Structure 1
Amino acid sequence: MSETGSVTVPANTEKATIDNLTNGYYLVYGTASSNGNEVVAAVTLTTLSRNATVAPKLGTPTLTKQIKHNDAEQGTEWGNYGDNQIGDTIEYRTITSVPILTGFTHYTYTIHDAMSNGLTYQKDAKMYLDDKKTQPVDAQYYTVAGSPSANDTFTVSVDMVKLAKAYNLSAGAKLYTYYTAVLNQNAKIHSANNPNTAYLQYSSNPYDDSQTVNTPQKTAYDWTFHVNVTKTDAKGNQIEGATFNLLSTKGDTSTKYIFIDNGADGGIHTYTIAPDQQTAAKLLADKTVTSYTDPDTNITYTNTIVAGKVKINGLDDVKEYYLHEAGAPAGYNALTEDLKIVLTASPANADGSSANVSATVTGADSNHSVLSSEANSIAFNVVNNSGSLLPSTGGIGTTIFTIIGICLMAGAAVLLITKKRMANKTK
């Protein structure tokens, strides 16, 4: 014979009475809700020993998700917001807590991590007992699985009962899981972010291994930015045919960035910083060209920006960029000095899911570079003046004209000497 039923415990008394039971043994389950999830505990009692305490374990595990901000002050670099250049390696971590394991012989404890398309997981997840990464957890106590489902990039499954016993961990102790991703060419730019989301799946019933619940999802956001550059004449009219390089070091064209050429759309030609600069640069160097299409991927790489109006994708606010004019349109003078571009970005809200960004442009010709406001963009003009002025800093133009002048003078001297000799012979 069996009897089943339920009773609700009033919050103000924390006690409940079950009446009119026949003599016998009873198993009483107690449940409690934690973040909307059911946690179970149980106790046995008899009708002869009528009082008992049922204590559901509300000390459930937690998960925190963080990204390392590459230009934050030491001690504040871990949070939910970061920004990077395409191609940068981004550091992430989750912080999870050890649960109450009383009554469990097996405990499901799985970290689920999902990266957006703009992030490439580097398959390097490792677990530690501390946030300095000096106490690694032995790999026998956890398993990392890549792409276990359509919704997960990877999972970390922990043998929690064995791990807690091996390291003498009590409930509430922290576990740190570190891993990295590369920001790739599919990254969302400027007005959209690149999220990385995680949650913890854990056991909720010591009497049924199949029952699990999840912590709330936590997300860290990474950002990257762009600038729009328009080539104009002195009157503000857009002109075509200028060529530029983007440099990491002022005046050093050996530091030029390699781009993926995304082509033109709506009158704007888009260039995205190539994630793997070394491989892209080698492709161009091997072919001794400024633009090359990889036949295996159909991706076009280039180190030269051709304007008109262009968009440069994948910039970070911690770096300095230098726009070098390699060639001006016919009839115009090139810039005499590289333009320095510096972005400044910060989170616009508490969770880092929105960002603010601004820019400064400086250089010898910065008076020609007018920052303007475009939708979800930073934009400025680079102005070329027409005329026959020599470069003010002296340069190849001056050198060429000097060489031509010397040659003309030498030719005139030779001609004069020749004429004098011919005149002497006729006397």
Structure 2
Amino acid sequence: MSKKNFFTKAFAGTLATLMAVTPAVSVPVFAAPGTGQDSTDGTNNTQVANDLENSDIIDYSKTGSLSIYKYDITSAEAAGDYTEGERFANGEKDTVVEETMADYAIQGVQFTYLRVGNIETYSNTEGGSSQVNVVYEIPVKLAEILKLDAEDAYKMNEDGVAEKCTNKGVLHYDSTQLSDALAKILADDELAATSALEEYLYSYGTQDSTTDGSVTTSEDTGVEAVNMPKTDAKGYTHVEGLELGLYLLAETEVPEQVTSTTNPWFVSLPFTNMTPEDENATGEEGGNYWLYDMTCYPKNQTGNPTLDKSVRNAYSNTNAVDDKNGTINRGDAYVSSKDSESLVVFNDDSNNPNNEKDTDEAAYVANRGGYTSDGTTAGKDGAGYSYDFEYRDTNTASAGDVLDYILVSRLPKITSKGTFLSEYTFTDILSAGLAYNKDVKIAFYDNPTDANANNTANAVTQWNLKSGDYTQGYADVTVTDESGSSAWKDGSTELTVKLTELGLQTLNGKGGNGNNIAGQGGGKVSNESYSDLYMVVYYTVTVNSDASLVLGDEGNENDVVLEWSRTSDGYYNTLEDRNYIYAYSLDLTKQFSDNEGDMSQVEFKLYNTTDAYYVMAKQSAEDPAVWYVTGKTTSKEEATTFIPTEEGRIVVYGLEADKYAMTEIATDNGYTLLEDSINIVITPTDRDVIASVAGTTGLTGDQVDAIIAAYHGGIFNENGQLVNASKDDIFGTDATRPDIEDANGRTIGKTDMHVGEIVAATATVDEVSADMKEHTYTEGEGTEQKTSANATVVLNVVNNKNFLLPKTGGYGTILFTLAGCAAAVGGVLLVTKKSKKKEA
């Protein structure tokens, strides 16, 4: 049996009991300091000296100390090293606990303590009898929070009271009253009570700074609230030299992974020793002496948010010319979907068994991949399945397309005010080939299915942010690109969505026992909060129709970073994810067999047989051979007519990976047209990308697998795999596994983002494998030339001259005609760069 398992029972009760250390212990009668009858006085000095030596009475010449060790109970429970409620805590140092829980220490927790008042003796003689009680002095404001009635307080200034108290702004209660009052407000509304006490102590501290050891004194009572040093890497904090008296402690600041704070508790310094109840614990018989140094081992529950970025080809219900498909966005070509602002481009061409005619919206969806029966999730039921309208980590798109991005993050649990979020910021980096459309919106969902489909019809609520670079209520949205800053020399755009104070307040809720705005939480989360909801930040980008779009396997990279923190300044963490957009080109060289033809008379049209549209493009001003794709049309007349340069070149730049038919529709007089279209198939690049996953304490030893399996039901990646068993979905190899992450000086086992190996793009021409050449480019203001493999399909087309026919009425007409027809089969030469398997 391991040492940790052996001590599980021995340790459990220690934490449980110390959560509720209050002055409800038996306290013998003694004289309060400053009354003329303190523990150094008395008629029998020998007796007093003996009592002090044996710690039978309080020695007011001493001071007290407080030590706190803070541990992650969620991780410890998952590892099987802790079970709540099985061991008694007595306020003394427990080395067994410290050794057992060393791997679960939480750094960055701040406790605030307030000496609420003196320990005094209420001695009142009335009607011939005397009443003697130990009472505690507390401020009036604290009594109000505890819902203690002033009429029930001990009247320390009545005529019969031997030692009167003249302090202002205070009331006096005994330990039973205080303990019962605290227990009741916690039972009635634990989070509201905890929040009120946390805020009460925090208001004594400094609102603008959480410097360790900061002190603020109440003008009414003269008492001080002090922030203890934040817990260190061992979860430890300590303060000494404390004046004896009654103290209130609360956990006022926590790092980003803490989801629930310890309930506030009272501590009496000194306190009477208590008998250990567990046979494995050590210590003398309780009730025999005073102790001045208290050690507490309070617990924390922990948890983290998630992040998953995805992209698909966008829908839109607008008929504007500058929308997704350029000039096709007119009239009957579009209808508006009732819920999702969906663009429906109907295809009236059924020339292809994989692209049947669209008769309505349902047929459109089915023909392009289909949805499963729930109506929101893309599925493989439709003919000609394509990933165009399914959210993915990688996607292929044409220049001019609009892409729809979603950033899905499950918000962490929010409970008392000490756990409130103070930062929730998405920083999204878009590569130079993508232009942000300044249309960020935010939706919140109560389930992952709707969130991952961004099914806004089922959103719990939406924040409609309507412009680009702005501050609007709930969020600041800023855009930084090469035109406005030198921050991104490679031409990238940085989009930042940072929740404002109002946005964070809305997320955090009221801080009392209740449910989130969707009715979830079982009454145990901050009331009216967004705790545990799925937050979806969504926006669109346009794929640039210029050379900034990178072609081939390198793709156009888009990274996002989520940064979040709670109340402990300087303690935060991040999650990362990435998407890739892939595009390609065709490089066609036209030749005449005799090198005499007029290239200006040659015309081509390019048709996408996967999605049934003609390609639209604009000619480059810098290089007339290059045509940048700009859009799509179902009209052959509106489609771009590609005319080669004098050298015979046509480069169609920015094509999505699909099936295409390149058709020569005109050539120079005296030359033969191609007999059929050239059929090109481009299969896109792919790679597996798995977002990083937040870790927890304890992921450093033998307990790693147990924690991953049991922590909140399992620590999973976006593909539903436990992070210690992550696999690359494409190759089946091991993906990134949890590592020791140094987050702000802390060791937390985070699983970094996995970016798998590339599955290279491929192409065929007329069903024969064709090589693809690399793309050479520079980024933004940079001068370094970079290359991207498998970017361009190369075609060489040769036109031969027509056969000469005899003059009308001449001899041999039938002979020449037959011969000409026979020869025409070989009269047009299509040369492609192809590779074939060697014969065995």
Whether TM exceeds 0.5 here: the answer is: yes
Partners of 2:773 and 2:670 lie apart in 1 by 29
Q: Residue in 1 aligned with 2:519? A: 168
Is 1:261–2:619 an aligned residue pair?
Answer: yes
Is 1:305–2:709 an aligned residue pair?
Answer: no
| Cα drift, residue 81 of structure 1 | 1.0
Partners of 2:800 and 2:535 lie apart in 1 by 65
Q: Residue in 1 aligned with 2:764? A: 360
Query: Any conservation in 2 of the 1:247–1:323 contact (CA below 8 Å)?
Result: yes
Is 1:374–2:374 an aligned residue pair?
Answer: no
Q: Residue in 2 aligned with 1:179? A: 539
Q: Which letter does structure 1 place at the counterpart of 2:620? A: N
Q: Residue in 1 aligned with 2:310? A: 66
Cα displacement string for residues 15-57 of structure 1 (whole angstroms, at most 9, x for unaligned residues): 86959654464858699877xx899967666344635344455
Relative to structure 1, is the Cα distance of residues 17 and 248 closer, same or farther in structure 2, using a 3 angstrom cutoff?
A: closer
Partners of 1:127 and 1:274 lie apart in 2 by 31
Partners of 1:78 and 1:29 lie apart in 2 by 42
Relative to structure 1, is the Cα distance of residues 194 and 55 closer, same or farther in structure 2, using a 3 angstrom cutoff?
A: farther
Query: Any conservation in 2 of the 1:144–1:154 contact (CA below 8 Å)?
Result: no
Aligned ranges for residues 99-248 of structure 1 at < 5 Å?
99-104=412-417, 107=421, 108-122=423-437, 123-129=439-445, 130-131=450-451, 132-139=455-462, 143=474, 145-147=476-478, 152-155=494-497, 157=499, 158=503, 159-162=506-509, 165-170=516-521, 171-185=531-545, 186-205=548-567, 213-232=572-591, 241=599, 243-248=602-607
Q: Which letter does structure 1 place at the counterpart of 2:563? A: Q
Is 1:85–2:398 an aligned residue pair?
Answer: yes
SS of 1:274's equivalent? strand
Is 1:328–2:667 an aligned residue pair?
Answer: yes
Match of 1:274 among 630, 633, 639: 630
SS of 2:457's equivalent? coil
SS of 2:508's equivalent? helix
Partners of 1:17 and 1:124 lie apart in 2 by 44
Partners of 1:69 and 1:146 lie apart in 2 by 23
Q: Which letter does structure 2 place at the counterpart of 1:113? A: D
Match of 2:803 among 358, 365, 389: 389
Cα displacement string for residues 64-118 of structure 1 (whole angstroms, at most 9, x for unaligned residues): 2122379778348433111111222322222211222223275333333332332
SS of 1:134's equivalent? helix
Cα displacement string for residues 238-275 of structure 1 (whole angstroms, at most 9, x for unaligned residues): 9982633333268xxx965332222566xx92211014
Q: Which letter does structure 2 place at the counterpart of 1:306? A: P
Query: Any conservation in 2 of the 1:128–1:134 contact (CA below 8 Å)?
Result: no
Partners of 1:234 and 1:41 lie apart in 2 by 83
Q: Residue in 2 aligned with 1:419? A: none
Q: Which letter does structure 2 place at the counterpart of 1:325? A: E
SS of 1:62's equivalent? coil
SS of 1:160's equivalent? helix
Query: Any conservation in 2 of the 1:86–1:273 contact (CA below 8 Å)?
Result: yes
Partners of 2:296 and 2:311 lie apart in 1 by 47
TM-score by length of 1: 0.65
Query: Any conservation in 2 of the 1:83–1:223 contact (CA below 8 Å)?
Result: yes
Partners of 2:558 and 2:620 lie apart in 1 by 25
Partners of 1:32 and 1:11 lie apart in 2 by 23
TM-score by length of 2: 0.36
| Cα drift, residue 63 of structure 1 | 1.6
Partners of 1:343 and 1:334 lie apart in 2 by 25
RMSD: 4.7
| Cα drift, residue 306 of structure 1 | 0.9
Relative to structure 1, is the Cα distance of residues 82 and 17 closer, same or farther in structure 2, using a 3 angstrom cutoff?
A: closer
More strand, by proportion: 1
Q: Percent identity?
A: 17
SS of 1:245's equivalent? strand
Q: Which letter does structure 1 place at the counterpart of 2:559? A: T
Q: How many correspondences in the alignment?
A: 358
Partners of 2:665 and 2:265 lie apart in 1 by 83
Q: Residue in 2 aligned with 1:294? A: none
Partners of 1:115 and 1:238 lie apart in 2 by 47
Partners of 1:240 and 1:54 lie apart in 2 by 87
Larger RCO, structures 1/2 (Cα 8 Å, 6+ apart): 1
Partners of 1:239 and 1:40 lie apart in 2 by 80
Query: Any conservation in 2 of the 1:119–1:181 contact (CA below 8 Å)?
Result: yes
| Cα drift, residue 2 of structure 1 | 11
Partners of 2:295 and 2:67 lie apart in 1 by 17
Query: Any conservation in 1 of the 2:561–2:577 contact (CA below 8 Å)?
Result: yes
Query: Any conservation in 2 of the 1:245–1:257 contact (CA below 8 Å)?
Result: no
Q: Which letter does structure 1 place at the counterpart of 2:651? A: K
Relative to structure 1, is the Cα distance of residues 371 and 165 closer, same or farther in structure 2, using a 3 angstrom cutoff?
A: closer
Q: Which letter does structure 1 place at the counterpart of 2:399? A: I
SS of 1:374's equivalent? strand
Relative to structure 1, is the Cα distance of residues 53 and 329 closer, same or farther in structure 2, using a 3 angstrom cutoff?
A: farther
| Cα drift, residue 343 of structure 1 | 1.0
Unaligned runs of 5+ in 2: 1-62, 72-97, 103-234, 272-293, 315-367, 371-377, 380-386, 465-472, 482-492, 522-530, 690-754, 775-788, 810-840
Relative to structure 1, is the Cα distance of residues 310 and 144 closer, same or farther in structure 2, using a 3 angstrom cutoff?
A: farther
Q: Which letter does structure 2 place at the counterpart of 1:183? A: V
Query: Any conservation in 2 of the 1:334–1:384 contact (CA below 8 Å)?
Result: no
Q: Residue in 1 aligned with 2:211? A: none
Q: Which letter does structure 2 place at the counterpart of 1:68? A: R
Query: Any conservation in 1 of the 2:260–2:414 contact (CA below 8 Å)?
Result: no
Q: Residue in 1 aligned with 2:681? A: 342
Partners of 1:145 and 1:90 lie apart in 2 by 22
Relative to structure 1, is the Cα distance of residues 39 and 172 closer, same or farther in structure 2, using a 3 angstrom cutoff?
A: closer
Q: Which letter does structure 1 place at the counterpart of 2:682? A: L
